[in-house]
Structure 1
Amino acid sequence: METPLHDQLEAAARDSRPTLIVGAGIAGTTLAQLLRGAGQHPVLIERSAGRHPGYMLALMPMTDAAFSDLGVTEAYHSRSVPISRYRVRSRTGTILRTDPIDEILSQYGDYRGISRGDLLDILTTDHAPVTTGTTVSALRDEPDADSAATVTLRQGEQETEASFAVVIIADGIGSTTRRLLDTPTTDVDTGWGGWVVWAPADDQMDLGEELWGTDFLLATYPVKDAVGVFLGGNRDDTAAGPEAFVARVRRQVPSPGPRMNAALEAILADPDPYFWPLTDVRAARWTTGRTVLLGDAAAGFLPTAGIGAGMAMESAWVLARLLRHHESNDGGPPLPALLTSFEARQRPRVEAAQDNSRQLARLMFRRSRIWAVVRDLVARRVSVATALGPIRKLLADLPSVTPPSTNSPTTTNSPTAER
């Protein structure tokens, strides 16, 4: 709900710990709504003036706790579809294998397909103030426990200065706010990119399907009433445009199967398909005094393991639990120590998932006929359960939250749930 910045700042001033969340994407919105559910009034700002129509997401079970705390699990189920099978096709279009992915992941919780737009709608079903067209133009932060972070908020030519007890930077993989902190980052540029469009729903809406060509990837994932499509390749090749690239794919694979045919038609039918350069980013640190990075601003994922959005929601849930406990317990550690504790417990999990995505990218994003033959042989013999081994380890050890003690704020022990 679009809300004037002044109204948000006025509401936040009544909190004992005024909070700013920069970025109203999945991580920022999840955190804002979890804090609001606890009676707080975080200021949520977003640089975009309108919502991007979105793309497809496959959410793994690490999101279930956030949906539960928000009270939107039923809405999530009604606006998504269960993904129970995963199929991979070879460079010639033949089916290499179809795995029952629900049997692999159901022991941990739900694995469902949803559009990004539907997910944001679900997260904002309750009172969800946001001020769009707003950025951070200056940020001064000190680690002293008695200080506050001073932020300059810009709307067009107008600037407003405000102080916050904590600032959460969640404005995406290309975060402009992160740059104000001079936080070191590293990135992986695969050299690939591709178009994302929607195809009509079909009669296999529980199936995720991918076709790995010699120099392209065609992937489809179901959501409610539609199939999300990604067609990508080396950016030197995709520069020719979607029509030429689709023709290239069809020359290589004349019979890719009915869904893949529909996917290629959807690419051609879209007058302005969204192009996604396949890069990621990793921040060397998440916290600076009273400021913390979250979601893609901390670690932006390649889509290869389908886990980036899930890890963003998980991190938002962990941070919300810590901040909510801090709000209700005056004798806890100082906020900078609490944020450091959050990084110490969550960053290793996020980076382990990101490492898995990077490893899969090295297998998938290549231009080589010989490598494609080898990859087909490997894919025929190696199940998705094996490929997702590192992710399954994360799911088997989902985080619960015990806030750090005052005496040892950065120590992460085997936690028990704080309910």
Structure 2
Amino acid sequence: MLIPTALDAQLAAQRHDRLRVLVIGAGVAGITAAQLLRRQGLHPVLVDHLPTMDHPGYMLALMPTVDGAFADLGVQEACRAAGTPLARYRFRSHRGRPLRTDPLGELLRVYGDYNGIARGALLDVLTSHGCPVTWGTTIDRVDADGHARFVDREGSPQASAPFDLVIGADGIRSRMRAVLGAAEPDVVTTGWSGWVAWADDLGEHDLGEEVWGDGFFLGVYPVKDRLGVFLGGPDEELLDGPAAFAERVRQKTSGLGTRLEAALIAVVEAPDPHLWRLDDARARRWVLSRGVLLGDAAAGFLPTAGMGAGMAIESAWMLARMLAHAERDTLTAVLHAWERIERPRVEAAQGTSRALARLMFRRGADVAWLRESLMRVLSVRAALRPILRLLAERPDPDAVARDVTSPARRISP
């Protein structure tokens, strides 16, 4: 449960902490980092510029990259209960005909859980032990001595306090990049967007499926007791609204079946479906002179590989585990070590999402046929190779942190 808390109360709680940490952004990454630090006995200040949690919500696929964080938070069973296993993935032709169904869950099981969950349900799980947050608050400045100036939603100053670490976790369109002194991020703009909606669960509870169409994309993904739906296409073709675009999809396909037809209807009938712009962002550096970037603020993913939330949670876990070994005099070394081991992993996963986007968002019947020919012959293990490598080669954050904070390292020239 997110617990609205006055800023003064949060500041007072951390007065005697060995590390005074400020987290800006009460999303998946920011909450994960804050909750993990609280399990270590710290009292990080968590703020968000929103007046309350009003995110429209969407579905997430959580790969085993999240298991370390969930184990440390003691929420593995709660997360399993709030989600549903993703055992199978079905790829359909641009006309809607099933081409192949692969046992993704079986391939990933050796590394851990692979589950579908609604974003809101995930945040409930992460905050199940209580999570203080100050709404309607952010910062507009961090001085060289670590003092951060808090402001309200109108920009009026509220307070100032010293911190050893400021974590910017305020999303893909992060303001903290500028506040903390980051350069402009590298961005991929696809020119596509899509609506997110929810449909009734019509069976096959462990099956996610996608249609990579000629000028459209339709995907359904199971979460607990319902289906998350994504219907997307080129921005200019979405201007007439969900009903007109759904009808174009029907005209381009045949044999979608009951489940995918129900998904189209769900988008059309949703009172205000969330429109998700399919762009990403990659900060050139995570560790900056005035703080660090985390989650989507550091690397905001396209949803094409279903890895953004999982890598954000892994990054928060890596950071928190390494901070457990840090004191004020070793903090900088620990932060640079964290970026050195985690940023290449996140950027590799983001690269997989970008590569899939280039494949998905190209138009034309000839392109569609070539894409489907590739999918017929490509083994699922080969398709998952970059992901499997990330899972198999997870570094040990405690070992890395112990190395950079060892007495021998600290006195070496």
Q: TM-score, normalised by structure 2?
A: 0.94
Closer/same/farther in 2, CA of residues 408 and 299 from structure 1, 3 Å limit: farther
Name the SS of the counterpart of 1:110 in structure 2: coil
Distance 2:339 2:170 in 1: 18
* 1:223 maps onto 2:223 in alignment: yes
Match of 1:83 in 2: 86
Structure 2 residue corresponding to 1:116, chosen from 102, 105, 119: 119
Shift of 1:244: 0.9
**Equivalent-residue separation in structure 2 for 1:100 and 1:384 (angstroms):** 8
Q: Which residue of 2 aligns with 1:391?
A: 387
The alignment partner of 1:326 has SS state of coil
Out of 148, 152, 161, the position equivalent to 1:151 is 148
Q: Whole-Å Cα distance in 2 between the matches of residues 291 and 59 of structure 1?
A: 27
Q: Does 1:69 align with 2:66?
A: no
Deviation at 1:158, TM superposition (A): 4.0
Aligned to 1:47: 49
Query: Residues of 1 paired with 2:277 and 2:379: CA distance?
Result: 28
Question: Runs of 5+ in structure 1 lacking a partner?
Answer: 142-147, 412-419
The counterpart of 2:25, out of the listed 8, 23, 26, is 23
Do the aligned partners of 1:290 and 1:336 also contact (CA within 8 Å) in 2? no
One-letter code of the match for 2:74?
Answer: G
The answer to whether structure 1 residue 57 and structure 2 residue 54 are counterparts is no
In 2: Cα distance, 1:399 partner to 1:133 partner: 37
How many Å separate the matches in 2 of 1:387 and 1:239?
34
Aligned residues: 400
SS at match of 2:325: helix
Deviation at 1:385, TM superposition (A): 2.5
Instruction: Provide the TM-score with structure 1 as the length reference.
Output: 0.93
CA shift, 1:374, in A, is 0.9
Q: Counterparts of 1:224 and 1:383 in 2: how far apart (Å)?
A: 29
Instruction: Give how far 1:99 is off.
Output: 0.3
Does 1:313 pair with 2:313? yes
Deviations 1:65-100 (A, max 9, x none): 100000011101110100000001101111010001
CA-CA distance at 1:288 after TM superposition: 1.5
CA deviation string 1:346-380 (max 9, x = no partner): 10111011111101110001121110111111112
Letter in 1 for 2:374: V
Letter in 1 for 2:149: T
C-alpha displacement of 1:218: 0.0
1:337 equivalent among 333, 339, 358: 333
Larger CA deviation: 100-109 vs 151-160? 151-160
Q: Which position in structure 1 is the counterpart of 2:13?
A: 11
- Partner Cα distance (1:408, 1:194) in 2: 50
Which residue among 34, 42, 52 is the counterpart of 1:32?
A: 34
Tell me which residue corresponds to 2:372.
Answer: 376
Separation (CA, whole Å) in 2 of partners of 1:226 and 1:150: 46
Q: In structure 2, which of residues 93, 96, 100 is the aligned counterpart of residue 97 of structure 1?
A: 100
* Residue 362 of structure 1 pairs with residue 364 of structure 2: no
**Do structure 1's residue 127 and structure 2's residue 130 form an aligned pair?**
yes
Contact 1:165 1:290 in 2 (8 A): no
Which runs of structure 1 show a deviation greater than 3 angstroms over 4 or more consecutive aligned residues?
405-409
| Contact 1:216–1:232 under 8 Å retained in 2 | yes
The answer for the alignment partner of 1:240 in structure 2 is: 240
Distance in 2 between residues matched to 1:363 and 1:74, nearest whole Å: 36
1: distance between equivalents of 2:395 and 2:122?
Answer: 22
Give the Cα separation in 1 of the matches to 2:372 and 2:289. Answer: 49
Aligned partners of 1:158, 1:202: CA distance in 2, in Å?
Answer: 51
**Distance of 1:387 and 1:205 partners within structure 2:** 23
Residue of 348, 353, 358 corresponding to 1:352: 348
Which range moves more in the overlay, 35-44 or 250-259? 250-259
More displaced, 370-379 or 59-68? 370-379
- Residue in structure 2 matched with residue 284 of structure 1 by the alignment: 284
CA deviation after TM superposition for structure 1 residue 344, in Å:
0.7
Does the aligned pair in 1 maintain the 2:29–2:316 contact within 8 Å?
Answer: yes
| SS state at 1:129 partner | strand
> 3-state DSSP class of the match of 1:281?
strand
Match of 2:245, SS state, is helix
Displacement of 1:313 in angstroms is 0.5
Deviation per CA, 1:273-293: give whole Å up to 9, x if none: 000010000001111235111
Tell me what 1:204 maps to: 204
**Which residue number corresponds to residue 144 of structure 1?**
none
Deviation at 1:104, TM superposition (A): 1.1
Contact 2:89–2:209 under 8 Å retained in 1 = yes
| Cα drift, residue 234 of structure 1 | 0.8
Q: Which runs of 5+ in 2 are unaligned?
A: none
Alignment-mate amino acid for residue 238 of structure 1: L
Instruction: Specify the SS of the correspondent of 1:17.
Output: coil
Give how far 1:16 is off: 2.2
Please tell me whether the aligned partners of residues 325 and 405 of structure 2 are also in contact (alpha carbons under 8 angstroms): no
Give the whole-Å Cα distance in 2 for the aligned partners of 1:305 and 1:352.
12
Question: What is the match of residue 180 of structure 2?
Answer: 181
